Structure 1
């Protein structure tokens, strides 16, 4: 478990993790909605990840997916 914590001390790894979360958001929105939109979350997730860590970025990504599915299905 200490190896994962050491990885998240690197800013480069944190940015790569945030970009991976962005790709997950794009993939989920394409599967459920059939379209990919570049919104504010593209810029917010890497900043949140650098400031508050990976758990905050993961929470932001999950909330963006939920909000996107709820508001775009109507």
Structure 2
């Protein structure tokens, strides 16, 4: 567990992430982080949750038209 202190950054408030936390998130300066609400609270991740939704839609499409894709592959 990491305790992070809120700090003034210009007209905003932010947190400074320690190097080890950045390494665990596999992010660096300039990368985008996403905050999602979970049953246990908030989650901070470098993974874009909307991208997962798009992947799942693609998977469903491919399942639905599996036979068509097989025929096209021949």
TM-score under structure 2 length normalisation: 0.30
Structure having greater relative contact order (Cα 8 Å, sep ≥ 6) = 1
TM-score by length of 1: 0.30
Bigger CA radius of gyration? 2
Higher fraction of strand: 2
Q: Which has the larger helix fraction?
A: 1
